[in-house]
Amino acid sequence: MHTLPSNELALGPVSKRKPSTAINLSLFLPGLGQVYCGALGRGLLHLCALTALLVVALVFLAAQSVPPKNILITVAILSVIPTAYSTWDARRMALASREDYRLKDYNRISVYVALIFLTMPIITGLGFSVRENFLHIFTMTGSSMSPTFDEGDRIFVRKDSYRDRQPEHNDLVAFLNPANRRQTWVKRVIALPGDVLEIKEGIVHLNGMAIKEAVGVHLDKTNLPPITIPDHHCYVLGDNRADSKDSRHIGPVPMIALVGNVLSWR
């Protein structure tokens, strides 16, 4: 019976690296193709570099006044370019590999799967961090903000907008309904702390003067006696006044309930 010398067994069996496999692994997870080609350190460097780049870019962009659409485009570009380079590098390494390449201890399916599962918490944590601290995407329900937002519209909410400042008049805000904190509502800020608000036949008066409503706001015939907005609160109304539950029903909204500033896809 033919047996391999003990040193052959220790070195591992011979298996030339396939460019197609290196490409597919790199496309699935940058750096995995390098690991497949026998460069564990190089592969981990590719993976860590891409993750660090995305983290730094997201934190920087989210901290600036950058439109959400531009943030998504930038992140997509930053993901595609390193992934393309990692794929090209893995293919080049596979083509340059020798016919007598001997498998390393980590050239196993179980190791590749483990690397993928170890990376998933990092990617998930990054996405969760962005969602909780910077950007959140909501889908509109109902017609209370029509025609500004219609039912089914997807909107961005900048969750860091009011951490160090209060909203301004006419800001579109998302907030937790004080009566049911499981509900997130979207309305327009009409009055701020200290403002005297009155509504006459649907016309909003602020500090004795009728305000200029935002384009597209649908008025109704609401009447509201003068009220002074308390500290740390704001008064919000829907743009479709006849079909909106807002501060006329739940009262001024505590600033602490604000989720963030609402931005459209545009």
- Count the Cβ atoms, other than its own, within 10 Å of residue 260: 20
Of 97, 187, 244, 247, the catalytic one is 187
Structure tokens given for 39: 């460069």
251 in the Ramachandran plot: left (φ > 0), alpha (ψ -120 to 50) or beta?
left
pLDDT truncated to tens, each residue of the chain (266 aa)?
445 454 444 567 888 899 999 999 999 889 999 999 999 899 989 888 887 787 777 666 655 556 666 777 877 888 888 899 999 999 999 999 888 898 988 888 888 888 888 777 776 766 666 666 677 788 899 999 999 999 988 888 888 889 889 999 999 999 999 888 889 999 999 999 999 999 999 999 999 999 999 988 999 999 999 999 999 999 999 999 999 999 999 999 999 999 999 987 54
Q: Are 136 and 204 a contacting pair, CB within 8 Å?
A: no
Identify whether 144 is a catalytic site residue: yes
Residue length of the chain? 266
Separation of alpha carbons 224 and 168, rounded Å: 22
Question: From the candidates 26, 86, 97, 144, which is the catalytic residue?
Answer: 144
Question: In the numeric block, which tokens belong to residue 115?
Answer: 């690397």
Domain limits, the chain: 6-133, 136-263
Task: Give the CA distances from residue 58 to residues 70, 126, 129, in Å, rounded to whole numbers and listed in that order.
Answer: 11, 9, 10
What pLDDT was estimated at residue 2?
46
The pLDDT score that the predictor gives to residue 10 is 52
What is the CATH number assigned to the segment(s) 136-263?
Answer: 2.10.109.10
Overall pTM surpassing 0.85 (yes/no): no
